[in-house]
Amino acid sequence: MTIEDSKANAIHDTHQSAADTHEHQHDEQNSHDSHLEQSTSPQDTKGYQRTLLFSFIIITGYMFIEAIGGWLTGSLALLSDAGHMLSDAVALGATLMAFKIGERAATHQKTFGYKRFEILVATVNGATLIIIALMIFYEALKRFNAPPDIATQGMLIIATIGMLVNILVAWLMHRGSHNGEAHGHGHDGNNSEALNNIADTKEPVNLNMQSAYLHVLSDLMGSVAAIIAALLMMSFGWVWADAIASIIVAVLILFSGYRVVRDSIHILMEGTPAGISLITVEETLVAHPQVQKVHDLHVWSITSGLNALSCHVVVDGEMNIHESSLLIANLEQRLLTLGIHHATIQVESSSHLQTKPHSDALVCDISEQATDSNSHIGHNH
């Protein structure tokens, strides 16, 4: 072998080694991107949708039976329960539609996709619960002044069947909400698997599914109240028991609706998700040896079970781009253990200019940010 051949082989080996190194780094980056894509993907709602479809068919079918029975027997408890079943059917249908729409991919106009539509439907469901409760209150008060004749035996039979139907639907929805089908994908490596297991154990209840479940549960309570009222009227002749039972159900429905509306509005107002503390998030980020400080921290929910975060982390000014990329990847894994699936982290040095719009406070007050002609709304970078 000549000297020229040796040099040529050496150059070839060097190029091949560099190519292998580049390919390895590219594969690592693809693996990392794939992991992030999987970890930020929302819950699979196919199990929810099957449960909602079965429940919708059952509720809608019996709603007509109970409405006719309430009209024939003259029972307000049955009629109010049938009216509530109508709202159940609408709520279940709207919830199913929300999950379908939520599956649509993100666009340039809807960069987070359509997941927030689920929260809008949950808000409407909660509001209808409140309206139904107020209508029952009004009708019950009228019946106190002029109690009508009620066919108690027929009322008892229909209410009992209604209770069994609602128990079946409530059981289906409860099982559908906890069947574990929504858990994420598997990953290679014990560390990634452990992190995903921690995130799964903190998975919150889907608010959209909860609002529909509360509709059915409050309807179940209406059937129980109608049964008790029928028994009291048959045993003691207490004709006012029908109105009393209706009021009790209305109170329970009112509180359920209020909780759903409260939680939905909290999400729509970009509130910090329940179970997540900003102090805990800050401590988790600062625990990394390269992070000196955290500020401009925002945590919110896109929809139930899909939490997002944005923040600024202060590091040593000598850190290069490659090191900051590794830091961000590590911080994202730490945030995943807190149930935060989508994170946008800005890395900056301690020498970054501190202004009123860009202070070092943990929570940024955007209402005080400068809006003069020489600066944009937001942070000056």
Tens-digit pLDDT profile for residues 39-86: 334 455 677 788 888 888 888 888 787 778 778 777 766 676 676 677
Q: What's the whole-number average pLDDT of the chain? A: 75
Condensed to tens digits (0 to 9), the pLDDT of residues 148-167 reads 667 678 778 878 888 888 88
Contacts of 250 (CB under 8 A, 6+ apart): 80, 132, 133, 134, 136, 137, 140
Q: Kindly give the pairing relationship between strand 293-303 and strand 340-349.
A: unpaired
Reduced to 3 states, what is the DSSP secondary structure of residue 307? strand
Distance from C-alpha of 164 to C-alpha of 55, rounded to nearest angstrom: 13
**Integer Cα distance of 172 and 50 in angstroms:** 10
- The confidence band for 213, taking pLDDT boundaries of 50, 70 and 90, is confident
What size, in residues, is the chain? Answer: 381
CA dist., res. 27 & res. 5, Å (int): 32
CA distance 377 to 35: 34
Instruction: Compute and round to an integer the Cα radius of gyration of the chain.
Output: 29
Model confidence at 368: pLDDT above 90: no
Look at residue 90 and tell me whether its pLDDT is greater than 60. Answer: yes
Q: pLDDT of 292-314, one tens digit each?
A: 999 999 999 988 778 999 999 99
